[in-house]
Amino acid sequence: MIQMKISLDGSWKYFIDYENDGIEKEIFTPTSIKNNIEKYSSIDIPFCWNSLEGLERYEGYFWYFKIFKIEDFDLESSEFFLNFNGINYKSKIWINGSYLGSHEGGFLPFHFKINSSDIHLDSDNYLAIQVENLRRRGRIPGKLFDWYNWGGIYRDVYYRVLPKLRIDWIHIKPKLKKNRARLLVNYKITGLEKFQYVIKFDNNKLETDIINPDQKRGSFEVCLEKPKLWSPEYPNLYEITINLEKNNFELTERFGIREIETRGPYLYLNKKRIKLYGVNLHEELVPYGRSIPFESRREDLKNIKKLGFNALRSAHYSHDESLLDLADEIGLLILEEIPVYWNMKYKSIETLKLAAKMIHDLIFRDFNHPSVIFWSVGNEVPIESIQCHRFMLLLVKYAKKLDPTRLVSYVSSHFLSDHYRRKTDIATLNEYFGWYFLTVKNLNYILELTRGMAFNKPWFITEFGAGAKNGFHSSELEKFSEENQAYIISRSIKIFNSKDWIAGWFIWIYRDFKSAIRTNQYQEGFNRKGLVSEKNEKKLIAKIMPKIIKKSFKTRKYPTLSKFMLPLGFFFSYVFKIMDLANFFQEKMMDDYYDSHP
């Protein structure tokens, strides 16, 4: 039985298609590739083309070419798959001149099953990929977003050879009861052949049995006595291996046994109350863009854990799966999100279908990661709009259907104008008191009022913070000074920690990142709200974080007043629509930035 996974990373050729006429000229054919391969420049994949000199602001069409050989395998008993872990934003793929298809969306893996007639085992294979990263309103995200528009094949590419008879996937749902864990193992098999499963912990065999499936999608249960639970303090990991007796095909998955739930305004992990002390992170690191080396990701998560955090929000899209592998091992709780963001075409059925596919693919990919406890279906959307709140609530319902074991919500930036958060598992709020408006001294009162929009739910402050230019200091707490950032964040943390109904918070953000709409003298094309600079230099707030992360002080509570805020919220849901006008000016700023490409 042959089972192969062969990397196609490394040296590729590329061509910048400024005129977008590559398809018309059929540059994807083997003849064209052979005739022009020496004229094309070389590039190492994975890579973001905006890291190339002169292409820092390029939005457009870009072609990749790879000539490679396929290791010999039995065409009768096996199938060939071409896999891409991440291409931004839209791609079209040809192999040996045959069109395989296209993919839209920049942050999730996809693959093609290729007919044996379209590949060569005894000669070279010619792979051509057209990629474009154009911003458009009907896409996800839309035309405006507050991060860099990195383009290209920025994650791993590989091919797989799998037997026709195989287990396609397994998803494990743990349920805790006293000193026992009941595991519901769902699977998909391509043929009705018996298989054996083995569950191990620390390389010791715990459970094994033979399963005789009577349908291709099925499930079985396993009970474990006195299981080693997964948590940030004790990130215990199990392993399940399924072996098909007929051809010895094996599929192995890591998983953790843990349970996340809410009761009233509190969050529970493994039946114990927990508070999340978190930070946000964009998938970006100088000079790699999004193509971050594995060891650099590991170092990021280790440093985040050292600062005292137990949670991470992977904003505002799915990161490479290696981040979750590391979070599973190191012990960080993860809030994952799809890039439904700001103003988009919420009334479009096609946009809704694309968003639904994104949340489906995200949940499918990351189902077995114990670190993941939340699914977010979007960030800072204009929820007051009828089209938007229908769009978001349909996604919430769909995500909950796909995975009832985790919490589902969207991230809101609206205080008294978002009463739809009552229909999700948790209430979220992005707030920037002391930075964009008022002062942090006003925060406590406004939080107490806002709580009334979902009084009996756990609240999470999913973004708060302030900008600081690394190295800029001011005893007068000037804007963009490290001292001002440290003051706003530390005082906010003390307020959040004083309220038991705030079940967690996430600072915006761990590291400074590039953004086309951040252009003042301190920002210089970067969002400067990071605890560390884009070069991982610690700012003052990072240096004091371990000392302040669990600090609190006594704050005044207004529970009666909070309960009367819901009717007022319906009024504000119409008044605050005018705030969305800011997006119009930011969109023009983003257009001007990328249009300045030489």
Q: For 483-528, how does the pLDDT look when each residue is reduced to its tens digit (9 = 90+)? A: 999 999 999 999 999 999 999 999 999 999 999 999 999 999 999 9
Rounded Cα distance, 79 and 74, in Å:
9
- With contact defined as beta carbons under 8 Å apart, do 381 and 392 qualify? yes
CATH architecture of 4-163: Sandwich (2.60)
Rounded Cα distance, 553 and 536, in Å:
31
Q: Which residue has tokens 């955090």? A: 309
Q: For 87-101, how does the pLDDT look when each residue is reduced to its tens digit (9 = 90+)? A: 999 999 999 999 999
Q: For 535-548, how does the pLDDT look when each residue is reduced to its tens digit (9 = 90+)? A: 999 999 999 999 99
Q: For the chain, percent helix, then strand, then coil, each to nearest 5?
A: 25, 35, 40
Distances (CA, A) of 386 to 391, 429, 573: 9, 20, 11
Q: For 139-171, how does the pLDDT look when each residue is reduced to its tens digit (9 = 90+)? A: 999 999 999 999 999 999 999 999 999 999 999
Q: Which residue has tokens 């001007």? A: 592
**109 beta partners:** none
Residue 134 gets which letter from DSSP? -
In CATH terms, the fold of domain 262-590 is TIM Barrel (3.20.20)
Q: Which long-range contacts (C-beta less than 8 Å, at least 24 apart) are formed by 481-484?
A: 482/539, 482/540, 482/541, 483/540
Per-residue model confidence (pLDDT) at position 417: 86
- Tell me where in the chain the CATH 2.60.120.260 domain(s) lie: 4-163
Q: For 255-284, how does the pLDDT look when each residue is reduced to its tens digit (9 = 90+)? A: 999 999 999 999 999 999 999 999 999 999
Per-residue model confidence (pLDDT) at position 31: 98
The dihedrals phi and psi of 514, each to the nearest 5 degrees, come to -70, 140
Q: For 30-85, how does the pLDDT look when each residue is reduced to its tens digit (9 = 90+)? A: 999 999 999 999 999 999 999 999 999 999 999 999 999 999 999 999 999 999 99
Q: For 171-195, how does the pLDDT look when each residue is reduced to its tens digit (9 = 90+)? A: 999 999 989 999 999 999 999 999 9
Burial grade of 210 (CB within 10 A; 0-12, 13-18, 19 or more): exposed
The dihedrals phi and psi of 301, each to the nearest 5 degrees, come to -70, -35
Q: For 397-418, how does the pLDDT look when each residue is reduced to its tens digit (9 = 90+)? A: 999 999 999 999 999 999 988 9
**153 beta partners:** 87
- Tell me where in the chain the CATH 3.20.20.80 domain(s) lie: 262-590
pTM of the model: 0.95
- What is the layout of strands, in order, in the sheet containing 217-225? 167-177, 180-189, 217-225
Please check the confidence at residue 226 and state whether its pLDDT lies above 60: yes
Please check the confidence at residue 136 and state whether its pLDDT lies above 60: yes
**Percentage of residues in the chain with pLDDT exceeding 90?**
90
Per-residue model confidence (pLDDT) at position 568: 55
Per-residue model confidence (pLDDT) at position 422: 95
Residue (of 530, 510, 515, 534) closest to 467 by Cα position: 530
Rounded Cα distance, 109 and 86, in Å:
5
In CATH terms, the fold of domain 167-258 is Immunoglobulin-like (2.60.40)
- As a whole number, the mean pLDDT across the chain is 95
Residue (of 226, 246, 249) closest to 236 by Cα position: 226
Per-residue model confidence (pLDDT) at position 598: 67
Mean pLDDT (whole number) for 109-123: 97
Rounded Cα distance, 248 and 231, in Å:
34
Query: Within 10 Å of residue 482's Cβ, how many Cβ atoms?
Result: 21
Q: Which residue has tokens 């009084």? A: 455
pLDDT band at 591 (very low <50, low <70, confident <90, very high): confident
Rounded Cα distance, 281 and 284, in Å:
8
The dihedrals phi and psi of 308, each to the nearest 5 degrees, come to 110, 0
Per-residue model confidence (pLDDT) at position 588: 79
Q: For 522-568, how does the pLDDT look when each residue is reduced to its tens digit (9 = 90+)? A: 999 999 999 999 999 999 999 999 999 999 998 887 766 666 665 55
Torsion angle defined by CA atoms of residues 279, 280, 285 and 290, in that order, rounded to the nearest 10 degrees: 150
pLDDT band at 574 (very low <50, low <70, confident <90, very high): very low
Q: Report the relative pairing of strands 125-132 and 152-153 from DSSP bridges.
A: unpaired
pLDDT band at 569 (very low <50, low <70, confident <90, very high): low
- Tell me where in the chain the CATH 2.60.40.10 domain(s) lie: 167-258
Per-residue model confidence (pLDDT) at position 209: 98
Per-residue model confidence (pLDDT) at position 584: 64
Query: Within 10 Å of residue 421's Cβ, how many Cβ atoms?
Result: 25
Please check the confidence at residue 578 and state whether its pLDDT lies above 70: no
Per-residue model confidence (pLDDT) at position 580: 55
3-state secondary structure of 478: coil
Q: For 317-372, how does the pLDDT look when each residue is reduced to its tens digit (9 = 90+)? A: 999 999 999 999 999 999 999 999 999 999 999 999 999 999 999 999 999 999 99
3-state secondary structure of 289: strand
pLDDT band at 573 (very low <50, low <70, confident <90, very high): very low
Rounded Cα distance, 452 and 445, in Å:
12
Rounded Cα distance, 290 and 151, in Å:
9
Per-residue model confidence (pLDDT) at position 567: 57
Q: Which residue has tokens 């620390």? A: 202
Residue 230 gets which letter from DSSP? B
Per-residue model confidence (pLDDT) at position 167: 97
